[in-house]
Chains A and B, each alone.
Chain A
């Protein structure tokens, strides 16, 4: 609608950017090709799980050919695996190159692009005064997201070539992965909320498909369903927010909503409601309290999927949604405080659970939930660029951690496979001493650990510090500080968020050090026979790890605090300024927010001290030498058990939500309404009525002509008499 004039006049319209529609199209083509290849030779039996928990191990052996294998890993390679390995990562690499080209065009532009480049493809839903286009919005924010999605995506695709090589469902895997990238690009490139929602639902679908990739194991299929259903609750919020926006603003494009939001009353009920519903959507997709329960279960999928979807890209969609609606959120300080508080609580809560998990992927899953909480704290307090910055660095180091753990699991699985051991290849109690066997992974994982813990100069330090600094800075003078949240003054809430953030940072350092200690240090607990089979994964897997390692190490220099000055000072912040600047300014309030240099140095010192204390504490306290393998481990007691069982949140949800819903469905909806009223009364009842009337009518048909003649005569007489005596 309002996009047409922008296209013609925009300086980007005569550059390569006008072909930006190719960026999402390429993965879609890849999906189609790989999907067709997966149909070919689909006669293969059920999926085999290279990450191998006990049950999967048996499944892998169930194939008849599996019994006569030698020492090598059992190969069930798909016949067209070679072609798929070319198409899958290939289309992504092309997309990435294309994204970089567009990014370059933006970079060399003479003046900063203050208008987004909206590329309208066609009109999608013309309905009355609402008109929704299929249009891509290319601006600084979506370019950052596109680069992350295609860049990290390419690396993870390459890693998957090695990791999934021997899986019979290899083409299907890449088809899903390519489809995911397509929807994710739709999500970050869409120029209006409905198009974003299409991508939002699409990534949810791909997430479901990939979590349940090894669907022959019921627990995997259940995990997929759980993710899907929990996400639907969030989507309800997103939809309601869209309805509210349409009903009150009459438009759903980002540009339209932004200009409409600027004139609504500050902190009004309407804008607060819209923001809270949007945030409900974000809690579903980005696994925040109360809808975080699906993400740890989502680890049932292949590990590269966990890295791509459940760490680097899809789960950050909620953060992107809030950053995209920056002006809207800045007009609703109460909603912002809610976002920050929920984010901080999630960060701490998930970190406590991460402290006691034994499954290496579960630790990383809770770590992801916790770090996502950080991002929400960032975007929640109106430091949108800080949130996006952490999103970016987190994509680097968490993808590295997941792929590193994938590499470890791959090695462990091969070792256990070689000796036919039924042990769990993901349990850290079965690992230990891997630093000698897998030196490359070992070094890279430590880089990622330092990064996530916040040790300078690794990337996570800068982003986490910026979020915490932003929270502290906004405790005075900002619109948030002046608002009331459930009757509590905003500045007090922000201090609480800051303290929770520090607590989460401390625990992050502890659980990550614990993971590293138990996995790579100390003696090997894998078993003597198996230990000889442990070795580094092939280069096609470690290669992407090295790239991510470099990014994790230096990624933070994309946005060095202004405090230090220098070249890279606030690079990302000023890059995002045209998109996020207005929202940030609104929430900074009229007086503006300033911290003295001394305070900033103090905050940085505190953050570093917390990280170092965490690592040192874990290093001194935890004794990997004393740990015993999983099968002989003692049962946990007290708090440890509560943490291992994730504070019993799943059980509590089952009691309070799932069981009552099932109960109502069974007794009232099924037995009562469906079987009773609909089937009994309406369906069978109407049949009975027709039958009764038919039976009565049929009794009148005696078949005797005499009777009919009498009735006829009586009829004639009565009609005649009625006329006569009228």
Chain B
């Protein structure tokens, strides 16, 4: 059961990474990051069977931080959209050197 769980976690994480690297839409990018976080959560939960409840406690932390992060991140994306009428990351390069 453990091996399957970890394999699923790795698969989800890889999907998330590929999404982050290839997509240009900020919202999709954001969802891919969430996917990566939850992939990690899955492996935490799976491994807590071997190493005690510490992993499960971590999952609670990650989810609460991810919720806060989602709130701030979405707010930023909305602000950018209002400003630029776009959420395409190609258009957002204000910090170019």
Bound together, the chains give a CA A705 to CA B76 distance in angstroms of 15
Given contacts A704-B89, A704-B90, contact A709 B96 (CB under 8 A): no
Check A697 against B21 for contact (C-beta < 8 Å).
no
The 3 closest A-B pairs by CB, nearest first: A703-B93, A701-B97, A703-B96
Q: Which residue of B lies closest to A701 (CB)?
A: B97
Check A706 against B97 for contact (C-beta < 8 Å).
no
Closest-CB distance, B31 to chain A (whole angstroms) = 15
Contact with B along A686-726 (1 / 0, CB 8 A): 00000000000111111111100110010000000000000
The 24 listed contacts between A and B (C-beta, < 8 Å) are A698-B97, A699-B97, A700-B97, A701-B95, A702-B93, A702-B96, A702-B97, A703-B92, A703-B93, A703-B94, A703-B95, A703-B96, A703-B97, A704-B89, A704-B90, A704-B93, A705-B29, A705-B89, A705-B92, A706-B24, A709-B20, A709-B21, A710-B21, A713-B17
Closest-CB distance, A398 to chain B (whole angstroms) = 79
Which residues of chain A have C-beta atoms less than 8 A from B29's C-beta?
Answer: 705
B residues 1-59 with Cβ under 8 Å of A? 17, 20-21, 24, 29
Total number of A residues with any Cβ neighbor in B under 8 Å:
13
Which residues of chain A have C-beta atoms less than 8 A from B89's C-beta?
Answer: 704-706
Which of A700, A704, A710 neighbours the largest number of chain B CB atoms within 10 Å of its CB?
A704
Which residues of chain B have C-beta atoms less than 8 A from A698's C-beta?
Answer: 97
Closest-CB distance, B76 to chain A (whole angstroms) = 12
Bound together, the chains give a CA A697 to CA B96 distance in angstroms of 11
Check A713 against B93 for contact (C-beta < 8 Å).
no
Given contacts A709-B20, A710-B21, A713-B21, contact A697 B90 (CB under 8 A): no
SS class, residues of chain A in contact with chain B: helix
Bound together, the chains give a CA A660 to CA B94 distance in angstroms of 61
Which residues of chain B have C-beta atoms less than 8 A from A699's C-beta?
Answer: 97
Closest-CB distance, A716 to chain B (whole angstroms) = 10
Bound together, the chains give a CA A706 to CA B22 distance in angstroms of 8
Which residues of chain A have C-beta atoms less than 8 A from B21's C-beta?
Answer: 706, 709-710, 713
Bound together, the chains give a CA A705 to CA B24 distance in angstroms of 9
Contact with B along A82-102 (1 / 0, CB 8 A): 000000000000000000000
Bound together, the chains give a CA A705 to CA B93 distance in angstroms of 8
Known: A706-B24, A710-B21. 12 other contacts (CB 8 A): A697-B97, A701-B97, A702-B96, A702-B97, A703-B95, A703-B97, A704-B90, A705-B29, A705-B92, A706-B89, A709-B21, A713-B21
B residues 53-97 with Cβ under 8 Å of A? 89-90, 92-97
Which residues of chain B have C-beta atoms less than 8 A from A703's C-beta?
Answer: 92-97
Closest-CB distance, A34 to chain B (whole angstroms) = 67
Q: Which residue of A lies closest to B24 (CB)?
A: A706
Bound together, the chains give a CA A704 to CA B97 distance in angstroms of 11
Chain B contact residues, CB within 8 Å of chain A: 17, 20-21, 24, 29, 89-90, 92-97
Closest-CB distance, B90 to chain A (whole angstroms) = 7
Bound together, the chains give a CA A130 to CA B75 distance in angstroms of 76
Which residues of chain A have C-beta atoms less than 8 A from B94's C-beta?
Answer: 703
Bound together, the chains give a CA A713 to CA B22 distance in angstroms of 13
Bound together, the chains give a CA A99 to CA B51 distance in angstroms of 102
Which residues of chain B have C-beta atoms less than 8 A from A705's C-beta?
Answer: 29, 89, 92
Q: Which residue of B lies closest to A710 (CB)?
A: B21
Which residues of chain B have C-beta atoms less than 8 A from A709's C-beta?
Answer: 20-21
Bound together, the chains give a CA A15 to CA B51 distance in angstroms of 101
Bound together, the chains give a CA A406 to CA B77 distance in angstroms of 95
Closest-CB distance, B28 to chain A (whole angstroms) = 12
Q: Which residue of B lies closest to A706 (CB)?
A: B89
Check B20 against A701 for contact (C-beta < 8 Å).
no
Which of B90, B94, B95 neighbours the largest number of chain A CB atoms within 10 Å of its CB?
B95
Which residues of chain B have C-beta atoms less than 8 A from A702's C-beta?
Answer: 93, 96-97
Which residues of chain A have C-beta atoms less than 8 A from B20's C-beta?
Answer: 709
Bound together, the chains give a CA A697 to CA B24 distance in angstroms of 25
Which residues of chain A have C-beta atoms less than 8 A from B97's C-beta?
Answer: 697-703
Bound together, the chains give a CA A709 to CA B90 distance in angstroms of 13
Bound together, the chains give a CA A705 to CA B17 distance in angstroms of 13
Bound together, the chains give a CA A702 to CA B96 distance in angstroms of 5
Bound together, the chains give a CA A701 to CA B93 distance in angstroms of 10
Bound together, the chains give a CA A561 to CA B20 distance in angstroms of 115
Q: Which residue of B lies closest to A695 (CB)?
A: B97
Which residues of chain A have C-beta atoms less than 8 A from B17's C-beta?
Answer: 713
A residues 535-573 with Cβ under 8 Å of B? none
Bound together, the chains give a CA A701 to CA B17 distance in angstroms of 22
Bound together, the chains give a CA A700 to CA B92 distance in angstroms of 16
Which residues of chain B have C-beta atoms less than 8 A from A700's C-beta?
Answer: 97
Check B24 against A701 for contact (C-beta < 8 Å).
no
Bound together, the chains give a CA A384 to CA B29 distance in angstroms of 102
Closest-CB distance, A724 to chain B (whole angstroms) = 15
Bound together, the chains give a CA A706 to CA B89 distance in angstroms of 8
Q: Which residue of A lies closest to B21 (CB)?
A: A709
Bound together, the chains give a CA A700 to CA B21 distance in angstroms of 18
Contact with B along A239-254 (1 / 0, CB 8 A): 0000000000000000
Bound together, the chains give a CA A709 to CA B94 distance in angstroms of 17
Closest-CB distance, B25 to chain A (whole angstroms) = 12
Closest-CB distance, A201 to chain B (whole angstroms) = 59
Bound together, the chains give a CA A702 to CA B17 distance in angstroms of 21
Bound together, the chains give a CA A14 to CA B93 distance in angstroms of 91
Which residues of chain A have C-beta atoms less than 8 A from B96's C-beta?
Answer: 701-703
Bound together, the chains give a CA A703 to CA B93 distance in angstroms of 4
Q: Which residue of A lies closest to B94 (CB)?
A: A703
Bound together, the chains give a CA A106 to CA B34 distance in angstroms of 105
Which residues of chain B have C-beta atoms less than 8 A from A697's C-beta?
Answer: 97
Bound together, the chains give a CA A705 to CA B30 distance in angstroms of 12
Bound together, the chains give a CA A710 to CA B21 distance in angstroms of 7
Which residues of chain A have C-beta atoms less than 8 A from B92's C-beta?
Answer: 703, 705
Q: Which residue of B lies closest to A696 (CB)?
A: B97
Bound together, the chains give a CA A452 to CA B47 distance in angstroms of 117
Bound together, the chains give a CA A701 to CA B21 distance in angstroms of 17
Which residues of chain B have C-beta atoms less than 8 A from A713's C-beta?
Answer: 17, 21
Closest-CB distance, B5 to chain A (whole angstroms) = 21
Q: Which residue of B lies closest to A698 (CB)?
A: B97
Which residues of chain B have C-beta atoms less than 8 A from A704's C-beta?
Answer: 89-90, 93
Bound together, the chains give a CA A703 to CA B21 distance in angstroms of 15
A residues 171-206 with Cβ under 8 Å of B? none
Closest-CB distance, A692 to chain B (whole angstroms) = 14
Bound together, the chains give a CA A701 to CA B90 distance in angstroms of 14
Bound together, the chains give a CA A713 to CA B96 distance in angstroms of 20
Bound together, the chains give a CA A709 to CA B93 distance in angstroms of 14
Bound together, the chains give a CA A702 to CA B21 distance in angstroms of 16
Bound together, the chains give a CA A706 to CA B32 distance in angstroms of 13
Closest-CB distance, A146 to chain B (whole angstroms) = 77
Bound together, the chains give a CA A713 to CA B20 distance in angstroms of 10
Bound together, the chains give a CA A703 to CA B96 distance in angstroms of 4
Bound together, the chains give a CA A700 to CA B95 distance in angstroms of 11
Closest-CB distance, B23 to chain A (whole angstroms) = 9
